[in-house]
């Protein structure tokens, strides 16, 4: 698939087969995540790759939205090390860019995944941090459930031309 096709056909996958995801497949996804842009090139992202079934089950209960981890062979905790940051507030954006790269790489590789938000909900962050033993300076941003999809959802065109403005808010642009 070319880049545009990957972007336009990627969908969240929440049900996975029992087929394992190889170390080399995970390595590609982590490399894609770390290729994301970040503010001032700080690259605050840190990743905890979880394969242990007990820990995945615990993470699946860490937020009301993390149920996909119950069937995923791999979960990735995306967190930020906030120690010594020059631009402390930008870690949230940086981690989001890394996650999107990871999900696009997963789709391009024939894997499926779903982004599960954690930050800024403190109880979710506490549950996730405790489940994987994060130090205090490292804050969980999100979880990503990954695996071979049971089925691939059909692409959906979500473009909304009415949400596009030209030069100023009062000016609308109509795109087909």
pLDDT, tens only, 108-142:
999 999 999 999 999 999 999 999 999 999 999 99
**Residue 90 within any structural domain of the chain:** yes
- Is 84 within the bounds of a domain? yes
* 95 lies in some domain: yes
pTM to 2 decimal places: 0.94
Would you say residue 55 lies in a domain?
Answer: yes
In a domain, 58, yes or no: yes
Instruction: Provide the domain count of the chain.
Output: 1
Contact in structure between 32 and 105 (CB atoms under 8 Å): yes
What is the 8-class DSSP label of residue 165?
B
CA distance 120 to 100: 18
Q: 100 is in which domain, residue-wise?
A: 3-163
User: What confidence tens digit (pLDDT) does each residue in 17-65 have?
Assistant: 999 999 999 999 999 999 999 999 999 999 999 999 999 999 999 999 9
**In a domain? residue 169:** no
- Assess if residue 94 is contained within a domain: yes
Query: Residue 156 maps to which CATH number?
Result: 3.40.109.10
Task: For 72-89, write each residue's pLDDT tens digit.
Answer: 999 999 999 999 999 989
């Amino acid at each position: 698939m070319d880049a545009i096709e990957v972007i336009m056909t990627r969908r969240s996958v929440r049900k996975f087969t029992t087929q394992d995801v190889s170390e080399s497949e995970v390595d590609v996804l982590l490399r894609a995540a770390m290729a994301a842009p970040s503010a001032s090139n700080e690259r605050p992202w840190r990743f905890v790759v979880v394969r242990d079934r007990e820990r995945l089950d615990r993470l699946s209960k860490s937020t009301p939205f993390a149920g996909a981890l119950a069937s995923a062979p791999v979960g990735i905790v995306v967190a930020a090390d906030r120690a010594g940051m020059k631009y402390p507030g930008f870690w949230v954006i940086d981690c989001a860019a890394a996650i999107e790269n990871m999900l696009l790489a997963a789709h391009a590789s024939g894997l499926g995944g779903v982004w599960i938000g954690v930050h800024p909900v403190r109880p979710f962050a506490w549950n996730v941090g405790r489940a994987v033993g994060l130090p205090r300076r490292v804050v969980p941003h999100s979880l990503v459930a990954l695996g071979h999809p049971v089925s691939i959802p059909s692409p959906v065109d979500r473009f909304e031309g009415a949400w596009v403005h030209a030069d100023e808010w009062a000016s609308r642009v109509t795109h087909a």
